[in-house]
Amino acid sequence: MQRLYDFIRRHPTGVDSFWAVFLLGISGMTIVVGGAGDSGRGERIAIVPIVIGLCAVVALRRRAPEKMLLLAIATGVAQLVFGVRPTLANFAMLVITFTVATVGERWASRLALVCSLCAAGLAQIRWPNTDADGWAQQVFLVVVMTVPFVLAWVLGDSMRTRRAYFDQLEERAARLEREREAQSKVAVAAERARIARELHDVVAHNVSVMVVQADGAAYVMDAAPDQARQALETISSTGRQALAEMRRLLGVLRTGDAPESGEYVPQPDVDQIEDLIDHVRAAGLAVDFKIEGTPRPLPSGVELTAYRIVQEALTNTRKHGGPNAGASVRLVYFDDGLGLLVEDDGRGAAHELYEDGGADGAGHGMIGMRERVGMVGGTLDAGPRPGGGFRISALLPLKAAN
């Protein structure tokens, strides 16, 4: 049964042609048995092409509904002119009325409705019913004959409306699906950018510390073995810290995998800035750290941004500040935000590097800072310090700007 239904859906014109042939055969038998055409020579001549034309309307109704409507109207006019009384083939007019109301152009649908309202009246005028008693009964017969055509048009028009509604729903669903895909791509791109910033901060800071300690250990290996051993221990702890943070970052890329116990670590926050500074001091950079205001809990995004700014600024100082450079970090708690001030007194990197977007030579350092500050609705000011060195100032509001 399903195969038959699929075949009918794939070959609508073939199905209509079958019904057209069936209607032609029934109409021909009715004409022969009923003796239609005996009333006049013109009727006998015209009845055959009229019946064939009406059957063609049924066969091609879905392929060319507007043209078939015009053909049906032409055959109806020919019937009135040549006096060919209605036969079973006139059922095609009911079919084409339903078809154009469903799938035809709007003008064809309106024309079909007008013809449906007029057809029964014209037929009654052309072939008056002599058995009817008075004009009231004739009007009643006209109404009864008109009702099927009107119902066919109303049913077809309602199907057109229903189909348009479903098409609109499908189009809306497709549009929403495209919007969801676009939003997913934007979210993926944003997440990749976030991971890239995090990896840059982790790698730039920790690898820089490890390189400095390795150079120091190589320099004092023979003269001061204890200092060399301490430098190697710093390299080891720094490497472990870097691996832990990289595992946490790369873990977000594992969709569907259960996190392993102890594999991930919390996001850095403001409380860990002091540990970061101690770590930098152990690597040989003198850092003065002060907190002003009353410390209090901050939004996680603000705390992470503050930590990464300090980490990036101290990394740049260590890489580009030159020998004997010192730095200072100020953390200021305001009523409506958090202020950061990181300065160094070294010779600094070339000013062009900061103008191009970062002190790492690839433009990621300062760009990453500005993106982080922008995400929390803050402001960032970075540039050379009067008298030498570099200065980074940031203000992070507790609530993102609208």
Closest CA to 302 of 337, 341, 252: 337
Measured CA to CA, the distance from residue 164 to residue 182 in angstroms comes to 27
In sequence order, which residues have a C-beta less than 8 Å from that of residue 350 and are 6 or more positions away? none
Q: What is the mean pLDDT of residues 381-392?
A: 85
User: How many CB atoms lie under 10 A from the CB of residue 368?
Assistant: 24
Q: Measured over all CA atoms, what is the biggest interatomic distance in the chain, rounded to whole angstroms?
A: 134
Closest by alpha carbon to 308, among 343, 276, 278? Answer: 276
Alpha-carbon gap, residue 385 to 326, rounded angstroms: 13
Ramachandran class of 269: left when φ > 0, alpha when ψ lies in -120 to 50, beta otherwise = beta
- Looking at residue 258, its pLDDT comes to 42
Residue 276 pLDDT greater than 60, yes or no:
yes
Burial of 131 (0-12, 13-18, 19+ CB in 10 A): exposed
Q: What is the mean pLDDT of the chain?
A: 80
DSSP string, 189-242: HHHHHHHHHHHHHHHHHHHHHHHHHHHHHHHHTTT-HHHHHHHHHHHHHHHHHH
Which residue has tokens 């300065």? Answer: 343
SS3 380: strand
CA-CA distances (angstroms) from residue 199 to 164, 204, 255? 52, 8, 19
Return the bridge partners of 384, or none.
390
The pTM of the full predicted model, rounded to 2 decimals, is 0.49
Q: Return the H-helix or E-strand segment holding 3.
A: helix 2-10
Q: pLDDT tens digits, residue range 107-133?
A: 999 999 999 899 888 888 888 776 666
What does the pLDDT look like over 282-321, one tens digit per residue?
A: 877 888 999 998 888 888 788 888 888 888 888 888 777 7
